[in-house]
């Protein structure tokens, strides 16, 4: 009886706790403080899934990013737009920024918020291989006396002629919209403009400034962004943010929704070991180094079968590198040049060409390494490229000097090894006789008389007969 009452009491307590947890409304808070890449995208998507599983009332992303990869950014935006849980992007803490891809994420969020002393902008797309779109440099700034710097009068006249060719008046005072110089640049730029304008129009934000951020790479402070209807809220901290957006109406995929955030319980979902490991592996410098280790590990294993350690390390490193290259924006021409360069360097070691293969391999390796990553924010460190190239050059130089030294050494195998060797006469003879050489009995011929036990030197080998002479006659 007592046991039954105890079980009922425990069951009632558990039911009450479950009901309390289900009735507790939470805000899931995530943190993004790095470049937007595969690791950040994976972390963000898992956070949204967790928020939906727990029926959270709001997802808050505290963000500080210099930008990142377009593919990762777009996957995050697609997930955000289709999320059943409203997402608030909060640029914080003070001093943080939402640059490039961060600006797109801010425009795509259901609530766009910034902390004081933060900024956003510089959303111009970057061409493949790094660097901004040609023709997207900052326009000439006027000097203190109001005149344009006289460093390039021809450029100013060219700009005027270009404006007239496009049907724009140079006297209108309205700057010509930058559209890129080549067809590919215009295609990328116009796609980015249309994309960010569609995000702005979805949430009723300033689409004209969004276009300007893409075309002109302009920036805004938090206060300016609020005044120009780029963001919805400027909040001191997370509590202030939840207070200000309480009762705000946001646009979800299934229609409008009114937020109730006044009494939300904050639950943090910080990046775990998986995100950190993925971030390390997908770091361009790490992926590049893993590829080098993997390549040389396999070469050492194939040249010395049975070592196991180089092969094991090599295959693991190479697989990790290939995984990273799968999710990173890799230029395959650069990757091919790296592999060709490494192959030529190894070829120099296996069949010396007096530097032709080795030098060509180093040149191909360096060019391929510079070309490898197709992103401005994810580039391989030039000192790392230079260091590995110098290491390969040093290895090639060492191999060449070793081969040159081997060519100068006296042969140690075959008949050549017997010449200049010392032997012992086994009997007295002049002409034909026998000597002992390296523990073996050999036929010998000498033009000088020899006595038993006398030490002689081999001067030549004729089949199975040694030409010998007394050792004291050798010079």
Is residue 222 in some structural domain?
yes
Domain boundary at 214, 245, 274, which? 274
Q: Return the half-sphere exposure (C-beta side, CA atoms, 13 A cut-off) of residue 312.
A: 4
Residue 315 falls inside a structural domain: yes
At 249, which CATH number?
Answer: 3.90.226.10
Please state, in angstroms and as integers, the Cα–Cα distance from residue 18 to each residue in 14, 413, 430, following that order.
6, 85, 113
DSSP string, 229-275: TS-SEE-SSHHHHHHHTTT-EEEETTEEEE---TTPEEEE----HHH
pLDDT attached to residue 63:
97
Q: Do 229 and 312 fall into the same domain? A: no
Query: From CA 35, how far away is CA 73, in angstroms rounded?
Result: 10
* Rounded percentage of the chain residues whose pLDDT exceeds 70: 74
Least confident of 210-224, 258-272, 400-414: 400-414
Between CA 31 and CA 42 the distance in angstroms is: 13
Considering the domain boundaries, does residue 149 fall inside one?
Answer: no
In a domain, 7, yes or no: no
376 with 428, same domain: the answer is no
φ/ψ of 467, rounded to 5, equals -90, 120
If we measure between CA atoms, which residue out of 70, 66, 55 comes closest to residue 32? 66
Do 299 and 393 fall within a single domain?
yes
Residue 470, token pair as written in the block: 């007394």
What is the pLDDT averaged over residues 17-26? 58
Residue that finishes a domain, picked among 408, 439, 458: 408
314 and 386 housed in the same domain: yes
Residue at 294 is within a domain = yes
- Structural domain range at position 433: 414-473
Sheet holding 265-268, edge to edge: 233-234, 111-114, 87-91, 58-63, 26-32, 265-268
Are 269 and 306 found together in one domain?
no
434: CATH? 2.40.50.140
Highest mean pLDDT among 299-308, 314-323, 367-376, 410-419: 314-323
Confidence of residue 11 (pLDDT cuts 50, 70, 90): low
Query: Does 400 reside within a domain?
Result: yes
Rounded to an integer, what distance in angstroms lies between the CA atom of residue 269 and that of residue 88?
Answer: 15
Q: What is the pLDDT of residues 262-300, one digit of tens each?
A: 889 999 999 988 888 888 888 878 888 888 888 888 877
146 is a domain residue: no
Number of folded domains that form the chain: 3
C-alpha to C-alpha distance for 446 and 433, rounded to whole angstroms:
8
User: What pLDDT does 333 receive?
Assistant: 77
Do 73 and 204 share a domain, yes or no? yes
Final residue belonging to a domain, choices 248, 274, 300? 274
The reply to whether 314 and 426 lie within a common domain is no
**DSSP state letters, 66-118:** --B-HHHHHHHHHHHHT-SS-EEEEE-STT-EEETHHHHHHHHSSEEEE-TT-
Query: Is pLDDT of 225 > 80?
Result: yes
Whether 103 and 239 map to the same domain: the answer is: yes
- Looking at the structure, do residues 258 and 303 belong to the same domain, yes or no? no
pLDDT tens readout for residues 353-410: 666 777 788 888 788 877 776 555 556 777 777 777 787 777 767 766 766 666 666 6
Q: Alpha helix (H) ranges present in 328-413?
A: 332-350, 356-371, 382-408
Is residue 338 in a domain? yes
> Model pTM greater than 0.85?
no
Q: Which two tokens stand for residue 402?
A: 């070793």
Query: Are residues 395 and 248 located together in one domain of the fold?
Result: no
């Amino acid at each position: 009886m007592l046991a039954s009452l105890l079980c009922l009491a425990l069951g009632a307590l558990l039911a009450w706790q479950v009901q309390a947890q289900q009735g507790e409304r939470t805000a899931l808070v995530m943190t993004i403080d790095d470049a937007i890449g595969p690791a950040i995208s994976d972390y963000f998507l898992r956070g949204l899934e967790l928020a939906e599983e727990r029926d959270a009332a709001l997802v808050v992303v505290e963000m500080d990013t210099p930008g990142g990869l377009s593919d990762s950014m777009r996957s995050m935006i697609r997930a955000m737009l289709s999320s059943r849980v409203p997402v608030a992007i909060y640029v914080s803490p003070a001093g943080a920024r939402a640059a490039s891809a961060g600006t797109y994420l801010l425009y795509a969020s259901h609530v766009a918020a910034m902390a004081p002393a933060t900024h956003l902008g510089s959303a111009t797309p970057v061409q493949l291989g790094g660097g901004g779109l040609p023709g997207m440099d900052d326009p000439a700034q006027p000097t203190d006396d109001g005149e344009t710097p006289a460093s390039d009068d021809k450029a100013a006249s060219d700009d005027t002629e270009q404006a007239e060719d496009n049907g724009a008046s140079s006297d209108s005072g309205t700057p010509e919209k930058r559209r890129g110089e080549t067809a590919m640049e215009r295609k990328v730029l116009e796609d980015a403009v249309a994309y960010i304008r569609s995000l702005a129009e979805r949430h009723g934000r300033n689409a004209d400034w969004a276009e300007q951020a893409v075309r002109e790479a302009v920036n805004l402070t938090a206060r300016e962004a609020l005044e120009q209807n780029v963001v919805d809220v400027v909040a001191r901290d997370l509590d202030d943010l939840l207070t200000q957006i309480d009762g705000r109406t946001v646009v979800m995929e299934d229609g409008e929704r009114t937020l109730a955030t006044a009494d939300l319980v904050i639950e943090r979902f910080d990046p775990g070991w998986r995100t950190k490991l993925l971030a390390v592996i997908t770091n361009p410098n790490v992926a590049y180094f893993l590829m080098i280790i993997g390549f040389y590990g396999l070469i050492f294993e194939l040249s010395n079968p049975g070592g196991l350690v180089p092969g094991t390390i090599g295959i693991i490193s190479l697989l990790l590198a290939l995984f990273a290259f799968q999710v990173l924006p890799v230029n395959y021409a650069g990757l091919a040049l790296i592999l060709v360069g490494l192959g030529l360097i190894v070829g120099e070691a296996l069949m010396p060409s007096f530097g032709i293969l080795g030098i060509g391999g180093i040149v191909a390796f360096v060019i391929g390494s510079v070309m490898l990553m197709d992103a401005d924010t994810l580039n391989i460190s030039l000192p790392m490229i230079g260091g590995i190239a110098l290491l390969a050059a040093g290895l090639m130089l060492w191999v060449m000097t070793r081969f040159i030294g081997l060519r100068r050494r006296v042969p140690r195998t075959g008949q050549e090894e017997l010449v200049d060797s010392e032997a012992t006469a086994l009997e007295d003879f002049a002409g034909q006789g026998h000597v002992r050489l390296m523990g073996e009995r050999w036929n010998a011929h000498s033009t000088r008389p020899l006595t038993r036990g006398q030490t002689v030197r081999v001067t030549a080998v004729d089949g199975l007969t040694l030409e010998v002479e007394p050792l004291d006659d050798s010079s």
